[in-house]
Each structure stands twice: as structure tokens, then as C-alpha cells.
Amino acid sequence: MTPLSLENAAQVARPPRDGLPYVRLDRAADVVLDGGALATDGDRIAGFAADATARRIDCTGCAVIPGLVDCHTHLPFAGWRAEEYAMKVAGRPYEEIARAGGGIASSARAFAESGDDAVLAQATALTREMLRHGTTSFETKSGYGLSVDAERRALDLAARLAREVPQTVRSTALLAHAIPADYAGAGAWLDAVAPLAAHDAATALDIYVESVAFGLDDLARMGELARANGRDLRAHVEQFSTMRSVPVALEHGARSVDHLACLHPDDLGPLAAAECAAVLLPGAEVLGDEHVAPGRALADAGAIGVLATDLNPGTSPVASLPLIAGLAVRRYGWTPREALVAMTLNAAWVLRRHEDLGSLEAGKRADVVVLDAPLEHVPYRFGHNPVAIVIVGGEIVHVREDQAWRLA
């Protein structure tokens, strides 16, 4: 593997100090954005001085940042639901669409009707799009099966996807996404699907807590199932209604709580103080016309703030983390530094990959993204893909055509 020397960068984004597992957002201003260089040796970051013996990359005018980490996607899935988006724009709420057989049930039907190769082809195409937008690590979820066999199939396909893409992949078993019609309530479904908590591919268990889905008792049960199987607990919470899920999730040691658009004010302080990430999904908020999560308040309170795409066919068919960063800066009043740590080191911490990924430190895996301008341009040039070059494990895997001149 050819050593690389990224030189003359306007900014090289480094954490406040090496060895941090995450950066609470009230300390994000300490992220270092000094100019300079970065060198790789094999699949590792070697240091921060130019290497005259390595292949040179001219980063004049650029920001060099860690590879982006998308810790909340619903890959692999089948098909899209554009017609439902038209219904939402026309004023029909998601809960009504779901009760009429749309939503998750619609994606479950598409998944059942699609062969393995078709599902993987769509997922692989999306991972290539993610790579072009700087995502070098991401999470997958089951949840569109709605039968035990189909949920197992989803986890098996996620494992296959992980072997076929250049990115680092972590798999989550979203065992409680919706209650299948042929089960007599949430308890019966959880009884049936519980053995999948031990699936080899799954590193975390997830549950959707909502008025049209699962309740607080189910969340507690998922927490117990996660603990019994040595998996992390993650939870979709407070997306459309205030369920008061956060205290229950914290009690059961949740690694993250995701969405939080309807977070109760009394739960904000305890969440911010906890070692539990607040994963915000502004793509879903915008496309679903949801409430705006209290991102500024969470940041000021010192939460482990995280951004993710929520890439899925229904509520957030978005694959670009730079686009999500632009939404977060505008809607939450976040700084570019806050957005950066939220989709790098903090997201890697959610996936338990922070010791190797998510920040530029000597000895860490050389997952590096070169932006075509300083970091501040990412939210400012909203909708522009700022990614010039993507390096995964020390290998150049993507070069934007108009940026090829940077490779000497």
C-alpha cells in the first residue's frame, strides 16, 4: 500500500486531544483546525508532517477531516415510497399513512417481494453514493422484515453487504420496528423475535417507541434483552410524540437515543449529562415536517451530540452527511465544528469504533476525507457535495473528477 502525504491543507481537523472517546458538544470549540499536513503508512495515520517519500496529494485550500460516520441508516431495504412523500406534503400525517398500510408495512412488502440480489444491488449503489459524500463507515438495520425469517434474512443481507463494500459496517437488529398484523400485540412479537438478539451480525438492538409502535414497557424489555445478549441498546424515541422514553432508555444503559424531535424539557438535562448519545436526524425532520429537535439546548448542556442521515425509503431518503450537516447548522444553530464531531468521533463512539475511527490521530485507521474548501463552506454551500477525495484504510477510493489534479 503506497504511503500518502496530504500537504498544504488550509485545515487539518484534529480533536482537542488524542485518545478522547467522544467530544461533548459544549467542548466542540476546542477542535483544532490548523493548517498543515497528514501522512499515512499502510492503513494507518503515520503523523502530521509531510513525507517526501510518499505519494503527494496537494490539499491547497482544502480541509482534511476524518472519514464521516453514519451511525443511523436503515440499509439494506427494497424500493422507495415517493408516493407517501406526496401524501405527507399534502398534509396526511405519518401515523395515518402507517395505519392505512403504508409506512414500515409498505417497505416490508417490498422487501419480501425482492430477491437478495436486488436488495443488495440497491444497497450497494447507495453505499457508493454515500462514499462519494465522504461516508467511510456506516450502520445497517434490520426492521423491514416483519416476520422472524425475514428479519433474519435482513441481518444476513447486512452481513453480506459489509463484505462487499469498502466502508466499515456495523449491524443493528431493529427487532421492534412495527408490530406485524398476525401477532397479538407487541409482547407476542417480541417473544417470537427475541432469539435474533443473538444473531452474529448484530452488535446492537433497537426499538421504535411511538404511539403507532412500541411502548415504554417494550423499551424496558428490549433493554433487558440487549443486556442478556451482550448487545448495546439503541432506541428511536420522541419522533412524533412525547412518550417520555428517555428516562427508561437511560435506566437500561442505552448507547443512544435517536430522533428526539419531541423531547420533554425535563429529560434534556439528564440525557445531556449521561454517557448516552443524542442522535439527531434533521433529514427526517425536514422531509416529515416534524418538530425541530432541541439541538442547540442539547449542545449547550454538553450532550454527546450526533448527526446521521436516517437513510430509509420513507422518512429520510437522504444519503449525504454533508447535506445533513448543513441542515443541522441552520436548524439547530450549531457551529461547523459541532456538526463535524457529531458525524465523526461521536458517531464512531455510538458504533463502538471510536478507538480506531472518527478522528485524525497517529495510529488510527487512515479513513480521511479531503474537502474542496475549508470546513465552514460545508453548511454555507448547502447542497454542494464538498468531497474532493476519499481515503479508506490508506487507499484512495474516490476522487472527484474536477479534483484529480491534486494527485501528483
Give the whole-number percent of the chain exceeding pLDDT 70: 100
C-alpha cell at 352: 463502538
| Residue 277 one-letter amino acid | A
What pLDDT sits at residue 127? 98
Q: What average pLDDT does range 43-52 have in this prediction?
A: 98
Summarised one tens digit per residue, pLDDT across range 381-396 is 999 999 999 999 999 9
Judging by DSSP bridges, how do beta strands 68-70 and 135-141 pair with one another? parallel
What is the sign of the dihedral through the CA atoms of 227, 143, 141 and 283? negative
**243-265 confidence digits (pLDDT tens):** 999 999 999 999 999 999 999 99
Query: Residue 355 has what pLDDT?
Result: 98
Identify the pLDDT of residue 98. Answer: 78
Q: What is the 3-state secondary structure (H, E, C) of 389-403?
A: EEEECCEEEEECHHH
Amino acid identity for residue 247 in this structure: P
Rounded to whole angstroms, the Cα distance separating 365 from 383 reads 29
pLDDT digits (tens, 9 = 90+) for 109-133: 999 999 999 999 999 999 999 999 9
Confidence label for 353 from pLDDT (cuts 50, 70 and 90): very high
Long-range contacts formed by 105-108: CB under 8 A, 24+ apart: 105/146, 105/178, 105/181, 106/81, 106/314, 107/77, 107/78, 107/79, 107/81, 107/144, 107/312, 107/313, 107/314, 108/144, 108/145, 108/146, 108/150, 108/178
pLDDT digits (tens, 9 = 90+) for 3-25: 999 999 999 999 999 999 999 99
Residues 6+ apart with CB under 8 A from 216: 209, 243, 244, 245, 248
| Dist. CA 275–CA 253, nearest whole Å | 9
Q: Where are the alpha helices (DSSP H) in 134-185?
A: 148-164
Is residue 338's pLDDT more than 80?
A: yes
pLDDT-based confidence at residue 99 (cuts at 50, 70, 90): confident
Least confident of 51-55, 155-159, 177-181, 246-250: 177-181
Query: In this predicted model, what pLDDT tens digit does every residue of 183-233 receive, in sequence order?
Result: 999 999 999 999 999 999 999 999 999 988 999 999 999 999 999 999 999
On the question of a cis peptide bond just before residue 180, with omega within 30 degrees of 0, the verdict is: no
pLDDT at 368: 99
Nearest to 4 by CA among 39, 43, 53, 36: 39
- Angle value at C-alpha 372, between 366 and 373, nearest 5 degrees: 110
Who has greater pLDDT, 99 or 174? 174
Mean pLDDT, the chain, rounded, equals: 97
The band of 105, judged by pLDDT with boundaries at 50, 70 and 90, is confident
* Mean pLDDT confidence for 24-39: 98
CATH number of 4-66+359-406: 2.30.40.10
pLDDT at residue 362, rounded to an integer: 98
| Domains of the chain, residue spans | 4-66+359-406, 69-350
Q: What pLDDT band is residue 100 in, cutting at 50, 70 and 90?
A: confident
At 306, is the pLDDT very low, low, confident or very high (cuts 50, 70, 90)?
very high
How many C-beta atoms lie closer than 10 Å to residue 289's C-beta?
A: 11
Where residue 322 falls among pLDDT bands split at 50, 70, 90?
A: very high
Confidence at residue 254, expressed as pLDDT on a 0 to 100 scale? 98
What's the fold here for domain 69-350?
TIM Barrel (3.20.20)
Residue range 170-186: mean pLDDT, rounded: 95
